[in-house]
């Protein structure tokens, strides 16, 4: 059974000037042991989807349509009390900025123990012992339980946040740009740790990043978001030869490290303003392969082959 | 080629922390040089010292072979910063941002000429002249970074220092900014010091790449040669760390830079007894230098 089912999800900002749709009809599933990547630029809706799954959206953002099913239960219908028990135990979150995710005045071991105590009837001492175990699981000396966040490097802080996310062994962990603030060497180290732990413990990951090359290396499946809609969904290996013009453009936005130095063109223009939605495909103004229909009718996400879906009139 | 910029033995110490040590390099007229390295390696500090935003603790920066006042220097050397929202003043229009350097550096004689020059600057960076009356918040990140580049161009500089100019921008926007900088170099002969942690961007834009680690230059050479055949163990590690679909993620040990001797010794897979002394940055070919005891001219 899928760990996470997102079905026709719609998120809108309910502003005084009207509704602004930032996630529009997004559907995908994350199976057991899968690492599902959501790729997209700023404003594409990827972090909004992560927050929606945890029901952490703040006003004026609200889920205005669709379902989110975790462990057979609809998250959109949960009460506050149910949510309190659901978050962290069923789905946990690793955010981008580990410094602001950690409390600066409480030792890291105590913070991990607090999370365990909030969900299980366990005494302080065994909770602290588990915190030490979790730290060693992510490659940090268990003696560091007494350290404060500012005494750790950026990479170590991020590993503490990962340890906290795994504290209650949830079947699904959401990771929102977990290595974006780190340099490439530390990034590789942390992603290797994540891949190892995932293989060892079997949890699923919803992994969010704007870095497509990183995503192709790490994930099993990838969904590419553009302006709040999924443009393409495919197994990671298939995205090296993408079908949607936006994904094709993204792949050519990264200079190569070796081989001939070729001129790159990137994608002209900028993503649309969600306050002024166009009637057709959101990518149409920037698309080099547009057809007449693209300006008037938004394409649906359709299966072009097994596990490969594309929202484009050309496919 | 004659050197436009000569950086000699630059050192910078912040309280007890040594941010730069023995940084020496030249930039020729019209040349693009990339400084690459991880966070804390000293690449931004190097640019800030060159730009006279902070004084060095040791060493010197010579530009154009002359001693220049700050104003004369800034008429020839300009800087572009990482965050194009922080580098533009939110209460002023785009037109104001571009007019200031033209007025301060006396590049215009009257008001009508000022307006025409501002519009021309916008067009040079691929923006519409209609943006003159807009404020920074009305522009996208990519447009804001283009305004910052236009502002740097106002004085017609000979050197632009670009500190991670694309790292805050979305992937689909980045290549446009890199292409713009490359056009400025190729068509107007503006020299670039390009700071980045992205090795592929360094190769795309820069003729030469200098790799920094813990405040030291550890390797330098033509960009393509450094990427294709890295010599220093740190450069090798940096290249091996990049995401690659053909190489799954596997662990590598991490530790802090060594306080004495070779700064990379504590992380180096090829560490040796002699590494307790700091190796010199020595030439191995006419164009390449490496700071490593294990690499000699013949190897």
Residues A188, B172: C-beta atoms closer than 8 Å: no
- Cβ–Cβ under 8 Å, residues B190 and B152: no
Taking the C-alpha atoms of residue A269 and residue A254, their distance in angstroms, rounded to an integer, is: 17
Taking the C-alpha atoms of residue B298 and residue B129, their distance in angstroms, rounded to an integer, is: 56
Cα Rg of chain B, angstroms: 20
At A206-227, the pLDDT tens digits run: 999 988 888 988 999 999 999 9
Q: What is the mean pLDDT of residues A41-62?
A: 93
Instruction: Give the model's pLDDT for residue B168.
Output: 83
When mean pLDDT is compared across A70-84, A181-195, B111-125, B154-168, the lowest value belongs to A181-195
For residue A42, give the H/E element and its range. Answer: none
Contact A253/B at CB under 8 A? yes
Residues A253, B142: C-beta atoms closer than 8 Å: no
Size of interface A-B (CB pairs under 8 A): 118
Across the interface, of B142, B172, B245, the residue whose CB is closest to A216 is: B245
Across the interface, of A184, A186, A253, the residue whose CB is closest to B254 is: A186
CB contact set of B111 (below 8 Å; sequence gap of 6+)? none
Q: Strand A221-226 and strand A229-235: pairing?
A: antiparallel
Closest CA to B219 of B249, B263, B188, B251: B263
- Cβ–Cβ under 8 Å, residues B259 and B265: no
Residues B39, A42: C-beta atoms closer than 8 Å: no
pTM confidence score: 0.85
Instruction: Give the model's pLDDT for residue B255.
Output: 65
- Cβ–Cβ under 8 Å, residues B191 and B28: yes
What secondary structure letter does DSSP report for A238? G
Contact A250/B at CB under 8 A? yes
Helices (H) and strands (E) in chain B, counts: 9, 11
What residue in B sits closest to A140 (Cα-Cα)? Answer: B254
CB contact set of B216 (below 8 Å; sequence gap of 6+)? B21, B22, B23, B42, B263, B281, B291
Taking the C-alpha atoms of residue A3 and residue A53, their distance in angstroms, rounded to an integer, is: 12
Taking the C-alpha atoms of residue A111 and residue A115, their distance in angstroms, rounded to an integer, is: 7
Distance of CA B184 to the CA centre of its chain: 15
Q: How does residue A183 score in pLDDT terms, banded at 50, 70 and 90?
A: confident
- Cβ–Cβ under 8 Å, residues A96 and A178: yes
CB contact set of A296 (below 8 Å; sequence gap of 6+)? A279, A280
Q: What angle do CA B253, A88, A46 make, to 5 degrees?
A: 75
Q: What is the dihedral of CA A212, A218, A220, A221, to 10 degrees?
A: -20
Residue A127: exposure state from Cβ atoms within 10 A (0-12, 13-18, ≥19)? buried
Across the interface, of B140, B199, B251, the residue whose CB is closest to A257 is: B199
Q: What percent of chain A is modeled with pLDDT above 70?
A: 100
Q: How does residue A252 score in pLDDT terms, banded at 50, 70 and 90?
A: confident
Q: How does residue A185 score in pLDDT terms, banded at 50, 70 and 90?
A: confident
**pLDDT, mean over chain A:** 93
Closest CA to B199 of B187, B186, B214, B212: B212
Q: Strand A61-70 and strand A73-74: pairing?
A: antiparallel
Residues A154, B247: C-beta atoms closer than 8 Å: no
User: B107 CA to chain A: closest CA distance, Å?
Assistant: 32
The CA–CA distances, whole Å, from B277 to A48, B20, B30, B82 equal 52, 17, 37, 35
In A, which residues are within 8 Å of B224 by CB distance? Answer: 261
Instruction: Give the model's pLDDT for residue B151.
Output: 97
Q: Is A142 left (phi over 0), alpha (psi -120 to 50) or beta?
A: alpha
- Judged against a pLDDT cut of 80, whether residue A161 lies above it is answered with yes
Contact B255/A at CB under 8 A? no
Residues A186, B38: C-beta atoms closer than 8 Å: yes
- Cβ–Cβ under 8 Å, residues B141 and B86: no
- Cβ–Cβ under 8 Å, residues A249 and B172: yes
Count of alpha carbons within 13 Å of A50, Cβ hemisphere only? 26
Contact A288/B at CB under 8 A? no
In 3-state terms, what secondary structure has residue B166?
coil
Helix residue ranges per DSSP H, A33-107: 46-53, 80-86, 98-101
* 299 residues of chain B, pLDDT tens digit each: 579 999 999 999 988 788 999 999 999 999 999 999 988 899 999 999 999 999 999 999 999 988 899 999 999 999 999 989 899 999 999 999 999 999 999 999 898 999 999 999 999 999 999 999 999 999 988 999 999 999 999 999 999 999 999 988 888 888 999 999 999 999 999 999 999 988 999 999 999 999 999 999 999 999 999 999 999 999 999 998 888 766 767 555 556 788 889 999 988 988 999 999 999 999 999 999 999 999 987 65
Test the B interface: residue of A183, A237, A263, A276 with most B CBs within 10 Å: A183
Other CB atoms within 10 Å distance of the CB of residue B285:
12
Strands in B17-28's sheet, in edge-to-edge order, are B17-28, B3-14, B58-63
ipTM value: 0.76
Closest CA to A204 of A71, A42, A45: A71
CB contact set of B251 (below 8 Å; sequence gap of 6+)? A139, A189, A192, A193, A196
- Cis omega (within 30 of 0) on the bond before A275? no
Taking the C-alpha atoms of residue A52 and residue A57, their distance in angstroms, rounded to an integer, is: 6
Residues B175, A216: C-beta atoms closer than 8 Å: no
Residues B254, A192: C-beta atoms closer than 8 Å: no
Taking the C-alpha atoms of residue B267 and residue B233, their distance in angstroms, rounded to an integer, is: 9
**With a CB-CB cutoff of 8 Å, which residues 138-157 of chain A face chain B?**
139, 153-155
Instruction: Give the model's pLDDT for residue B1.
Output: 53
Residues B242, A267: C-beta atoms closer than 8 Å: no
Angle separating helix axes B111-124 and B94-104, nearest 10 degrees = 120
In A, which residues are within 8 Å of B256 by CB distance? Answer: 153
Give the end-to-end CA distance of chain B in Å, rounded to a whole number: 28
Taking the C-alpha atoms of residue A150 and residue A123, their distance in angstroms, rounded to an integer, is: 27
Across the interface, of A183, A267, A270, the residue whose CB is closest to B39 is: A183
Give the end-to-end CA distance of chain A in Å, rounded to a whole number: 30
- Cβ–Cβ under 8 Å, residues B160 and B192: yes
User: B217 CA to chain A: closest CA distance, Å?
Assistant: 18
Q: Is A141 left (phi over 0), alpha (psi -120 to 50) or beta?
A: beta
In 3-state terms, what secondary structure has residue B185?
helix
**With a CB-CB cutoff of 8 Å, which residues 188-217 of chain A face chain B?**
188-189, 191-196, 210-214, 216-217
Closest CA to A68 of A56, A81, A58: A56
Closest CA to A23 of A54, A70, A65, A83: A65
What secondary structure letter does DSSP report for B53? S
When mean pLDDT is compared across A44-53, A97-106, B45-54, B190-199, the lowest value belongs to A97-106
Q: Which two tokens stand for residue A190?
A: 């942390």
Instruction: Give the model's pLDDT for residue A11.
Output: 98
Q: What is the mean pLDDT of residues A240-256?
A: 90
């Amino acid at each position: 059974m899928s760990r996470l089912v997102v079905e026709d999800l719609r998120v809108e900002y309910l502003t005084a000037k009207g509704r602004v749709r930032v996630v529009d009809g997004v559907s995908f599933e994350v199976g057991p042991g899968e690492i599902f990547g959501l790729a997209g630029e700023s404003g594409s809706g990827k972090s909004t989807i992560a927050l929606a799954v945890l029901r952490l959206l703040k006003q004026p953002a609200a889920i205005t349509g669709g379902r989110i099913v975790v462990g057979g239960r609809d998250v959109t219908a949960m009460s506050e009390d149910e949510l309190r028990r659901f978050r962290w135990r069923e789905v946990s979150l690793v955010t981008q900025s580990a410094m602001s995710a950690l409390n600066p005045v409480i030792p890291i071991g105590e913070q991990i123990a607090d999370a365990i105590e909030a969900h299980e009837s366990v005494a302080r001492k065994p909770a602290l012992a588990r915190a030490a175990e979790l730290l060693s699981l992510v490659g940090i000396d268990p003696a560091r339980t007494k350290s404060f966040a500012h005494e750790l490097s950026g990479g170590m802080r991020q590993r503490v946040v990962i340890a906290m996310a795994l504290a209650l062994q949830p079947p699904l962990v959401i990771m929102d740009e977990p290595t974006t603030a780190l340099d490439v060497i530390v990034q590789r180290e942390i992603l290797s740790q994540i891949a190892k732990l995932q293989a060892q413990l079997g949890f699923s990951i919803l992994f969010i990043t704007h870095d497509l090359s990183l995503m192709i290396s790490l994930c099993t499946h990838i969904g590419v978001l553009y302006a709040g809609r999924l443009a393409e969904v495919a197994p990671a290996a298939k995205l090296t030869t993408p079908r949607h013009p936006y994904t094709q453009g993204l792949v050519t936005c990264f200079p190569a490290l070796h081989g001939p130095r070729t001129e790159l063109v990137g994608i002209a223009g900028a993503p649309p303003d969600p306050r002024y939605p166009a009637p057709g495909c959101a990518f149409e103004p920037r698309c080099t392969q547009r057809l007449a229909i693209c300006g008037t009718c938004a394409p649906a996400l359709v299966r072009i082959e097994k596990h490969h879906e594309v929202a484009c009139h050309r496919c | 080629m004659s050197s436009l910029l000569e950086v000699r033995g630059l050192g910078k110490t912040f309280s007890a922390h040594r941010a730069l040590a023995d940084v020496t390099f030249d930039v020729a007229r019209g040349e693009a040089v990339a400084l690459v390295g991880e966070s804390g390696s000293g690449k931004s500090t190097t640019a800030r010292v060159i730009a006279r935003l902070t004084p060095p603790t040791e060493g010197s920066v010579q530009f154009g072979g002359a001693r220049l006042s700050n104003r004369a220097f800034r008429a020839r050397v300009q800087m572009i910063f990482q965050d194009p929202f922080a580098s533009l003043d939110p209460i002023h229009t785009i037109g104001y941002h571009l007019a200031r350097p033209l007025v301060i550096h006396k590049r215009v004689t009257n008001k009508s000429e000022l307006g025409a020059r501002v519009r021309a600057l916008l067009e040079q960076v691929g923006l519409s002249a209609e943006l003159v009356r807009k404020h920074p918040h009305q522009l996208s990140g990519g447009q804001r970074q283009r305004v910052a580049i236009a502002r740097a161009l106002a004085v017609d500089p000979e050197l632009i220092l670009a500190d991670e100019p694309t790292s805050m921008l979305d992937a689909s926007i980045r290549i446009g900014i890199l292409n713009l900088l490359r056009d400025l170099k190729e068509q107007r002969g503006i020299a670039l010091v390009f700071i980045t942690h992205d090795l592929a961007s360094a190769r795309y834009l820069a003729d030469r790449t200098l790799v920094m680690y813990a405040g030291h230059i550890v390797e330098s050479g033509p960009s393509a040669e450094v990427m294709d055949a890295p010599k220093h163990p740190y450069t090798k590690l940096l290249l091996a760390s990049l995401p690659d679909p053909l190489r799954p993620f596997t662990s590598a040990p991490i530790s802090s830079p060594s306080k004495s001797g070779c700064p990379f010794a504590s992380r180096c897979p090829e560490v040796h007894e002699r590494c307790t002394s700091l190796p010199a940055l020595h030439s191995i070919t006419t164009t390449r230098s490496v700071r490593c005891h294990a690499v000699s001219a013949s190897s």
